[in-house]
Amino acid sequence: MHRLIDCHMHSTHSCDATATFDELCESALKQGLRGICVTEHIDFDKADPGYGYYDYDAYMADVDRCRKKYGSRLMIKTGIEVTYQTEFEDDIRRFLSAYEFDHVLGSVHLIDHVFILYPEYLEGRSKSEAYEPYWQEVLAMVESGLFKFIGHLDYIKSLRREEYGEFAVEEWMPYISVILEKLVQSGAILEVNTSALRRGHAEPYPGWAILRLYKDLGGTHVILGSDAHSPHRVGLGFREAAAQLRQLGLEICKDDMFPSSMTI
Ligand SMILES: [Zn+2]
Ligand SMILES: [Zn+2]
């Protein structure tokens, strides 16, 4: 664990998290992590509960304060998790040129202004109408070139399963392989997000079949993120994930892989 950085977590600067910055740092130290990156949500859709919540100055004040307090023992990177929606691409571009982060993560959470894991997302949608727009939006996100890091790629596997049966990755591979080809070509890097484990999945987001294909297509590196919203989830499942990634021949980014500029 001592070499690993948890690149995805949220503090009270995100509307849906309960952990303070200090609690996240303390938990990371307890886990023996080398570093953390607190990636608060930034949302551009008024329908998103996180809209208008983000406060860069308050976030940076906590980063500076915690660097003074923990910096000799813990590397603290700056980051952001951007909710990508094609229609807000201009706003996202403006935001990313106005603020600088070590780590910019792009994630798809909403389709047609609805969070994809809410029951109402499924209303009136067939199985393909539920999944396809998600893959299309992820592809658009990759093609936008806005993000060095792509968050929880198969997040949609957490859709309520009783509606459509178990998520079968093979079924969506035609979409996923196009996404991965573009992603590798662009030099973007996949996040391996272990929060899937606390949502009852046996594999992280994305699962091993997707990570194997990423490797086959020329992907070399990943980052690890717990997506912790509370302190005890920092570094969740990292040891096992790191061992699996080694077996797959994928390398976990070292701290010098983090660019200081936010775009690729
Ligand atoms: Zn997310
Ligand atoms: Zn997150």
Secondary element (H or E) of residue 60: helix 56-70
Distance from the CA of 82 to the center of ligand 1, in angstroms?
A: 8
Q: Is residue 62 part of a domain?
A: yes
Distance from the CA of 181 to the center of ligand 2, in angstroms?
A: 24
Q: How many domains does the chain have?
A: 1
User: What local confidence, expressed as pLDDT, does residue 256 receive?
Assistant: 59
Distance from the CA of 249 to the center of ligand 1, in angstroms?
A: 25
Residues of the chain under the 70 pLDDT cut: 1-2, 161, 255-264
Distance from the CA of 222 to the center of ligand 1, in angstroms?
A: 16
User: What local confidence, expressed as pLDDT, does residue 257 receive?
Assistant: 59
Q: What is the DSSP string of 97-129?
A: HHS--SEEEEE--EETTEETTSHHHHTT--HHH
Q: Is residue 130 part of a domain?
A: yes
**CATH number of residue 182's parent domain:** 3.20.20.140
Distance from the CA of 126 to the center of ligand 2, in angstroms?
A: 27
Q: Is residue 264 part of a domain?
A: no
Q: Is residue 140 part of a domain?
A: yes
Distance from the CA of 197 to the center of ligand 2, in angstroms?
A: 14
User: What local confidence, expressed as pLDDT, does residue 261 receive?
Assistant: 37
Structural domain boundaries enclosing 140:
5-257
Q: Is residue 262 part of a domain?
A: no
Q: What is the pTM of this model?
A: 0.94
